Amino acid sequence: MEQVPVWLTLRDRSVVVVGGTDKAAAKVRLALNAGARVTVVAPSLGIEVAELVRGGRAQHVARRFAAADLDDATIVYGATGIDTVDTEVAVAARAARVLVNVVDRPALSDFSMPAIIDRGAVVVGVSTGGTVPALAAAVRARIEAALPPRLARLAVFAESFRDAIRAKIAFGPARLRFWQRVVAGPIAEQVLSGDEARAHAQVLQALNGPDSMQTGGTVYLVGAGPGDPELLTLRALRLLQTADVIVYDRLVGPGVLDYARRDAERVFVGKEPTRHPVPQSEINMLLADRARTGLSVVRLKGGDPLIFGRGGEEADHLRAAGVKVEVVPGITAALACAAAAGVPLTHRDHAMEVTFVTGHGRDEGFEPDWATLARSRHTLVVYMGVGHAGEIAAKLMANGLPASTPIAVVQNGTLETQRVVAGSLAQLESLLADHGVSNPAVFLIGEVARAAQTSGAVPAELLRAVAG
């Protein structure tokens, strides 16, 4: 580490910015945000700084820099971009013992400016010591994504309980534990999702009875997307990183759990070769029981929890049991697989409608309306259809969909093992058999799937040309 991070208090202190252009504007804004009194020294001003001066937020000294400008300064920025002037600022600052930063000139600076993630009282700075600002910006983008926008609210919320917590719980591990539960558990999650009233009531309860934190956990039905962790939503990521318990099944991509909190309890409820899946009634009970003990429970489901994922049933059960449920949508297989195959699900020339249907509905006593599904200018996406491919194609053709209708099938969409095969509706069953396509896979059926023939997503050996 070449530099030591410190956070400067600039409220009501004098900050001098030498230069009036865009480079200077960023420094002026930053100092103003921190409550500083800002003086800009420059013969002329760019649009942004001029606007701030006109609005009375910064003072303007309309001339060249002079050492006396630093008389009252706490820090100074050299931001003219003119070598001789910036060097003069650095030399004068050093003589006056005023900390100086010269934009893009680490050698002339006492301090460098980190890339900042600003969440109110919570501020994160990323520094590369002024050497590679672009790298700092790239790291910042990653942290920005991980820190929820309402973190600032959480800081204000927690601060409002400071005195009460101090008065109620003696300094030491018990107070520390209490704080941890407030800022990292279900209470924090409620604040971050906008339910401050409930969070407030829970802190009061917790303060007034040691066991009352044990009530009111939440089950989050979270969409894990199709498999590639990059396709998780930011909210799913955050919940994974804060959950006490994660209940997941086999469709959750293997890389997704790498993003979960290390010490969270993980419960696998899917089918394994040697094990039957946990019955739905048991999953429901498990979720409710864990939530009732005050834990934050993430029920992670492949794709979107409410698309052929039994999320609706679990939510009904939990609500009936008095457990709070929140749904976090995910990217469903249809959307991810269509993108992977280069197929637009709708297209003004070919399809103005799209239907998602399960291919094994019959096993559960559901027979689709084949005539409706076979209509033209329509895209059909079939989930769970691999075992019924021949029958599905036959029904659609019998109801008028041409045998030459283009299709694409995506197996393990977005995973490293992804495969896309393409051909015509009449070839669906033989394509799957010839190439050993197995679950999980979706069928994309309709004129739009012709795009898979040319998108480059299908290797030549997995492609059968479609007439027309």
Ligand X SMILES: C[S@@+](CC[C@H](N)C(=O)[O-])C[C@H]1O[C@@H](n2cnc3c(N)ncnc32)[C@H](O)[C@@H]1O
For the annotated catalytic residues, the residue numbers are 249, 271
Q: In angstroms, rounded to a whole number, what is the distance separating the alpha carbons of residues 289 and 294? A: 9
Residues in Cβ contact with 334 at an 8 Å cutoff, skipping those fewer than 6 apart: 307, 345, 354, 356, 381, 383, 442, 444
Give the residue with the Cβ less far from ligand X, 110 or 326: 326
Residue 229 binds to ligand X (criterion: CB under 6 A)? no
Is there binding between residue 441 and ligand X (CB under 6 A)? yes
Q: Which residue number, 25 or 386, has a Cβ lying nearer to ligand X?
A: 386
Stretch that binds ligand X, among 78-86, 172-180, 209-217, 306-314 (CB under 6 A): 306-314
If you ran DSSP here, which 8-state letter would residue 117 be given? E
Token couple for 376 = 């033209």
Can residue 442 be called a binding residue for ligand X (CB under 6 A)? Answer: yes
Point out the residue whose Cβ comes nearest to ligand X. Answer: 303
Crossing angle between the packed helical segments 151-159 and 173-184, to the nearest 10 degrees: 140
Query: At a CB cut-off of 8 Å and minimum separation 6, what does 188 contact?
Result: 154, 182, 199, 242
Stretch that binds ligand X, among 104-112, 173-181, 283-291, 435-443 (CB under 6 A): 435-443
332 binds ligand X (CB under 6 A): yes
- Under rule CB under 6 A, residue 314 binds ligand X: no
The verdict on 446 binding ligand X (CB under 6 A) reads no
Residue (203 or 410) nearer to ligand X, CB: 410
Nearer to ligand X, 206 or 428 (CB): 428
Q: Cα dihedral sign for 282, 284, 289, 291?
A: positive
Instruction: State whether residue 47 is helix, strand or coil.
Output: helix
Site string for ligand X, 170-209 (x = CB under 6 A): ----------------------------------------
CB nearer to ligand X: pick between 254 and 322: 254
Q: From residue 62, how far is each of 24, 44, 176, 367 by CA, in Å? A: 14, 6, 53, 80
Which one, 318 or 420, has the nearer CB to ligand X? 420
> Could you give the string, one character per residue 22-61, with x where binding to ligand X holds by CB under 6 A and - elsewhere?
----------------------------------------
Piece of the chain touching ligand X by CB under 6 A; list 206-214, 234-242, 281-289, 305-313 = 305-313
Which of 19, 302, 329, 446 is the binder for ligand X (CB under 6 A)?
Answer: 302
The two three-digit tokens of residue 230, written as one number = 């990059």
Name the strands in the sheet holding 37-41, side by side, starting at the edge strand that comes first in the sequence: 58-61, 37-41, 14-18, 75-78, 99-102
Q: Of 16, 27, 308, 401, which lies in the binding site for ligand X, with binding defined by CB under 6 A?
A: 308
Q: Of 246, 333, 341, 392, which lies in the binding site for ligand X, with binding defined by CB under 6 A?
A: 333
Instruction: Give the number of residues written for the chain.
Output: 468
Q: Per-residue contact track with ligand X, 368 to 387, x per CB under 6 A?
A: ---------------xx---
Choosing from 216, 227, 368, 423, the residue that interacts with ligand X (CB under 6 A) is: 227
Give the whole-angstrom CA distance, residue 359 versus residue 352: 22
Q: Which of 467, 341, 349 is nearest to 414 (CA)?
A: 341
Interface with ligand X includes 248 (CB under 6 A)?
no
**Contact flags string 134-173 toward ligand X, x per CB under 6 A:** ----------------------------------------
What is the closest distance, in whole angstroms, from the C-beta atom of residue 78 to ligand X in the complex?
A: 54
Region from 11-19, 103-111, 297-305, 398-406 binding ligand X, contact rule CB under 6 A: 297-305
| Contact of 239 with 350, CB cutoff 8 Å | no
Sequence-ordered list of residues with C-beta below 8 angstroms from that of 124, at least 6 positions apart, any chain: 116, 117, 140, 143, 147
Tokens, residue 336: 């991810």
Total of chain residues touching ligand X, rule CB under 6 A = 24
Residues linked to residue 218 through DSSP beta bridges, in sequence order: 296, 324
- Contact with ligand X (CB under 6 A) among 27, 261, 301, 388: 301
Residue 307 near ligand X by CB under 6 A:
yes
Q: What is the DSSP string of 131-163?
A: S-HHHHHHHHHHHHHHS-TTHHHHHHHHHTTHH
Q: If binding is defined by CB under 6 A, does position 457 make contact with ligand X?
A: no
Helix (H) or strand (E) holding 175, with range, is: helix 173-184
**Segment contacting ligand X by CB under 6 A, of 172-180, 197-205, 206-214, 407-415:** 407-415
Measured CA to CA, the distance from residue 39 to residue 59 in angstroms comes to 5
Footprint of ligand X (CB under 6 A)? 226-227, 251, 301-304, 307-309, 332-333, 337, 383-384, 410-414, 439-442
